[in-house]
Structure formats: C-alpha cells, structure tokens
Amino acid sequence: MKPAGPEGRKKNTMHAPHLTPDEIVLWAEGLLPAARALHLSDCPDCLATAERERVFFLQLARLEQLAPSPGFAERVMGQVKIPTPSGGFKMTE
C-alpha cells in the first residue's frame, strides 16, 4: 500500500484531510467513523488506496480453512483424563 496522507499526493484543500494509513486500516476493517469515511466519496486517491487495503484484508480472511486429518479428535481424546465425582480421573472410551 502506498502511504496515505499528504506525501506523494496533491493536497486536498477543499475537503477534509486525506485519510492516514491508520484510518485506511480502520476503514478496511469497518471501524472508521462515518464522518471520516465520507472523505472517500470526494477523494479517488484515498478510495483507491482504501479499496486495495480492503481486498488485501479480504484475501487474508478468506484463506483456506485447514483441518487436521480424520481421527485427530479421537487421538487427542485418547490422552485426556476426565475428572470423576470421586476425585479421580477416567480416560475416554
């Protein structure tokens, strides 16, 4: 992501200041206050940066769900000691 903010981009004098990198992250996570998010409707530069960040976060959130091999739970449960009312332990069946 190119750094947001004034550096490298024309100063946005007519409207609210450009979003900072932290604000871009907040927007991509859906946490930026609406008043600041309004800036995106006026600023194509910030919008493009924010959109890139949103897609990047989406890629991370959509990584494949990885699962252990079948039988994993039984292998674990075979080593678990379950407390009994008498104060002892029992192993799973």
Stretch that binds another protein, among 7-15, 32-40, 43-51, 60-68 (CB under 8 A): 60-68
Q: Which of 7, 13, 35, 65 binds another protein (CB under 8 A)?
A: 65
Residue 15 in the binding site for another protein (CB under 8 A): no
Site for another protein in 70-89 (CB under 8 A): 72-73, 75-77, 79-85
How does 24-44 read in b/e, with b if 16+ C-beta sit within 10 Å? bbbbbeeebeeeebebbeebe
